Amino acid sequence: MAFTSNTKMQHDKFSFIDLFAGIGGFKMALSNNGGNCLGFSEINKDAIKAYCENFNISEDFNLGDITKIKGLAEHDMLTAGVPCQSWSIAGRNLGFDDDRGQLWNDTIFLLKQSQPKAFIFENVKGLVDPRNKTALQYILDRIKQAGYYANFFVINSFDYGVPQNRVRVYIIGFKNKKHFDKFTLPDHVSKKVKLCDILGINVNHVTKPNRSIQKDLFGNILETKGMSLSSTNGFNDYFLFNDIRNGHTTIHSWDILNTTERQKHICLLLLRNRRKREYGDLDGNPLSLKHFQQLDSSIRQEDIDGLLELEILKAEEYAFEIIPHEDNILSDEERLLLSYSKNNFFLIDSLKAQRKIKIEKISIPKSIEALKEKGVIKVTEIRYDFKNTKISTGLYGVNRIFLPTSDIFPTLVSSDSNDFITEEIVSAKNNNEFKANFIHNIYNTKKYRRITKSEACLIQGFPKDFKLPESRARWMRLIGNSVSVPVINLLCKSIIETGVFDQGESAETQRTKAQHAV
């Protein structure tokens, strides 16, 4: 089916052009508010096909690669979901006619050229990171130079009726200052769509007396690591699979594998101590057998070896001594690594912290192996850490499993994720029982799954039967890169309420009159 709107508007219809259109999140929201799309720009073949099939329009409306667009037709609103890039544009000030090639610059070039009455630009939340302060200010300055009054807003889709923790930056601007001054963000919706609504599961019988939503300084719901986003009877609404964090609903590898109480004890010792400064300067540091024995004198090498065999722990060559050698056998990369030694010794940690090594993209493991083969260094200390230390990866292919009582699902991303859902509700009397019941009734029985295509569409605010490719990797890339339709819908309404399209005749009204005159 094609998705259109018969909504009757009380204001003049407006026209818009959709840059970096994706599958049409902007198109759907603006059309539902009386907008008429004059053209879109997209280069991904799957996105173009989905856009045209779902909205029943010809591919002739596609303006193609934005870097090759020389000008836009007259229109009232410009939208753009500008892809995230490295912020190399910061500091450039070459003028609108000379700075093509950077996608933000290309977008602002077309804004300057076409002069619509309003615009909405969307980007990832990293744009407002303090590290990108210069880049953000550069973009805002260029927009001002183009003749617009604009501001940026950090918005979580959850606040506008999407059951997803999706924080994005929206830059909204107006040609006329009075419309800019009248614009206010829409109020948060009171009736939230929740994950259970998407799954079609009734959880009304489950009480939530100890509900606690974590928020950041913008008032947005945080995607926390190991912390509760919401709770049921004091229990978290999702389980985190991770060896380097701890909590009542954290599942560790030693909870899943067949381990002894002693092995569990050793793992917890490492978990509780690896972030202490006395063991290194990194956020997480491996421990040697000597360190373990300082914490528990009964620990022996065979205890560590057992955890290595289970692949819960891994051994790391940590400290090295430099052996006398001829300098001419060294590569430049190897000389750089050895330059960070002290008294002919160096630690892996000291190399990982060196900015120059990072800038020159030197592979520390490869260089270490080369130095060992040349007989230049020898290992003086072995340490042990968890095999799985990347939080987003999780354990054994699972990062988090969300219960149907959870209000939200994590941010949908184009590369997919290791986040799953279960349709089962877990009940328990205490935290230990809650975790045990989950492992026994859900994890061990594999009563969990990835979200489906139709669920992903609903989580982003699209109809569940929105047409997308059959391949999961392909449709996930499209839906993960899209804007959340309900957010754009409400932002559009707030823009319309400023009267920006009511005063005089909009470009769309003028266009319609001209067509009728002919």
The tens digit of pLDDT for each residue in 134-181 reads 888 989 999 999 999 999 999 999 999 999 999 999 999 999 999 999
* Domain ranges, ordered by start, for the chain: 14-190+463-517, 204-252+395-403+410-450, 254-386
Q: Which two tokens stand for residue 329?
A: 């056998």
Contacts of residue 210, Cβ cutoff 8 Å, sequence gap at least 6: 231, 233, 234
Query: What value, to the nearest 5°, has the Cα angle with vertex 236 and ends 233 and 241?
Result: 150
Residue 503: the pLDDT is 61
Alpha carbon 376 to chain centroid, angstroms? 43
- Give percent helix, percent strand, percent coil of the chain, each to the nearest 5: 35, 15, 45
- Return the pLDDT at 229: 44
- Half-sphere exposure (CA, 13 Å, Cβ side) for 376? 20
* One-character DSSP codes across 101-165: TSHHHHHHHHHHHH--SEEEEEEEGGGGSGGGHHHHHHHHHHHHHTT-EEEEEEEEGGGGT-SB-
Burial track 438-471 (b if 16+ CB lie within 10 A, e otherwise): beeebbeeeebeebebebbbbbbbbeeebbbbee
* Per-residue pLDDT tens listing for the chain (518 residues): 444 444 444 445 899 999 999 999 999 999 999 999 999 999 999 999 999 999 999 999 999 999 999 999 999 999 999 886 543 333 333 333 334 347 888 999 999 999 999 999 999 888 888 888 888 898 999 999 999 999 999 999 999 999 999 999 999 999 999 999 999 999 999 988 899 999 999 887 665 434 333 433 333 433 433 333 444 455 789 999 999 999 999 999 999 999 999 999 999 999 999 999 999 988 899 999 999 999 999 999 999 999 999 999 999 999 999 999 999 999 999 999 999 999 999 999 889 889 899 888 899 999 999 999 999 999 999 999 999 998 888 999 999 999 999 999 999 999 888 999 999 999 899 999 999 999 999 999 999 999 999 999 999 999 999 999 999 999 999 999 999 999 999 999 999 999 999 866 556 555 555 555 44
Q: What is the pLDDT of residue 227?
A: 34
282, 352 Cβ separation under 8 angstroms = yes
Question: CA 400 → CA 248, 393, 394, 396, 450, distances in Å?
Answer: 14, 10, 7, 11, 11
From 256, 307, 308, select the one nearest 443 (Cα to Cα): 256
Predicted pLDDT at 212: 39
Q: Which of these, 40, 377, 413, 464, lies nearest to 223 by C-alpha position?
A: 413
15, β-bridge pairs = 36
Q: What is the pLDDT of residue 211?
A: 38
Amino acid 62 reads N
Question: Do residues 89 and 450 touch, judged by C-beta distance below 8 A?
Answer: no
| Contact indicator for 27, 54 with CB cutoff of 8 Å | no
Q: 14-190+463-517 — its CATH code?
A: 3.40.50.150
pLDDT tens sequence across 327-368: 999 999 999 999 999 999 999 988 988 989 988 889 999 999
Q: How far is it, in rounded angstroms, from Cα 273 to Cα 293? A: 13
The tokens for 94 are 């070459």
User: Closest by alpha carbon to 409, among 192, 175, 255?
Assistant: 192
Burial, 78: exposed, middle or buried (Cβ in 10 Å; 0-12, 13-18, 19+)? Answer: buried
The tokens describing 268, both together, are 């917890």
d(CA 230, CA 494) in angstroms, rounded, equals: 30
Could you give the count of Cα atoms lying within 13 Å of 291 in the half-sphere of its Cβ?
Answer: 21
Q: Give the chain's end-to-end CA distance (angstroms, integer).
A: 33
Identify the CA nearest to 284 among candidates 247, 317, 244. 244
Residue type at 493? K
Give pLDDT, residue 508: 58
Which residues lie closer than 8 Å to 110 by C-beta, 6 or more apart?
19, 66, 69, 71, 72, 78
What pLDDT is stored for residue 218 in this prediction? 35
Phi, psi of 61 (to 5 degrees): -75, -10
Look up the pTM and report it: 0.82
Residue type, 217: L
Sign of CA dihedral 11, 15, 18, 23: positive
Q: Which residues are catalytic?
A: 84
